[in-house]
């Protein structure tokens, strides 16, 4: 991408000036190599995706068009986790589409990534009616699927996007504002987890975009520390 396009992405994020941390060539190479999954790994992904597609563990399956499994690089260093599919996600079968998805793409680009570089998933794989908040039982039914995705990807960093994702992953009820700016350990392996605001919230409150930019800078710093360690 040329400098003019990058400027437009960062302008949408509320950032006035971009200081590149890596070259365009380096950014282009991230996550674009062929998947390194073994035959067993590929089979595990196929099995899990079919299990999700056939899932009837909670009542949400009755109203879905299709499940929303997740998308992106299955060898990704970063895993982005949101809350639940909305109407467009239910229609297209892919997380973070529509206006919120476009803004998420801008958030990722500001951090030096393209959508294809990361893996994007949700706490829930089915859309709750009228986009209501997921119930605790619904989240519990989907928990194992997400845990298996994390185990297969083994990301070096998780970005929890929004209140529902943060609460589900961290088992807390604290406000997103209080969870930001801290490295949370996820799971037995202590994967660094960073909390930020959901793009849908930013569409309603655009002045908060600068806070997300700080969160992304923080996530980059934590990630670099992981690589150095």
* Regions in the chain scoring below 50 on pLDDT: 1-6, 9-10, 15-37
Q: pTM value?
A: 0.83
DSSP, collapsed to helix, strand or coil, labels residue 6 as helix
Q: What is the DSSP letter of 17?
A: -
Domains annotated on the chain, with CATH = 3-14+36-228 (3.40.470.10)
What's the rounded Cα separation, in Å, for the pair 162 and 95?
14
Pair 73, 119: CB distance under 8 Å: yes
Measured on CA atoms in the order 201, 206, 208, 210, is the torsion positive or negative?
positive
192: left (phi over 0), alpha (psi -120 to 50) or beta: beta
- 214 Cβ partners below 8 Å, 6+ apart? 181
């Amino acid at each position: 991408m040329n400098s003019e396009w990058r400027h437009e992405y960062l302008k949408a994020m509320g950032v006035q000036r971009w200081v590149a941390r890596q070259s365009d060539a380096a950014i282009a190479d991230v996550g674009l190599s062929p998947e390194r999954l073994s035959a067993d790994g590929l089979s595990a992904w196929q099995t899990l995706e079919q299990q999700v597609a056939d899932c009837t563990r909670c009542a949400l399956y009755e109203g879905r068009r299709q499940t929303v499994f997740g998308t992106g690089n299955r060898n990704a260093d970063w895993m982005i986790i949101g809350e639940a599919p909305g109407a467009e996600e239910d229609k297209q079968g892919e997380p973070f589409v529509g206006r919120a998805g476009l803004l998420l793409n801008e958030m990722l680009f500001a951090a030096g990534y393209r959508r294809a570089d990361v893996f994007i998933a949700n706490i829930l794989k089915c859309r709750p009616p009228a986009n209501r908040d997921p119930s605790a039982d619904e989240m519990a039914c989907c928990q194992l699927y997400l845990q298996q995705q994390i185990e297969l990807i083994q990301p070096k960093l998780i970005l929890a996007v929004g209140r529902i994702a943060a609460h589900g992953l961290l088992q807390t009820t604290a406000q997103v504002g209080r969870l930001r700016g801290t490295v949370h350990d996820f799971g037995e392996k202590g994967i660094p987890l960073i909390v930020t605001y959901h793009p849908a919230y930013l569409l309603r409150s655009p002045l908060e975009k600068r806070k997300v930019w700080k969160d992304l800078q923080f996530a980059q710093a934590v990630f670099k520390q992981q690589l150095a360690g």
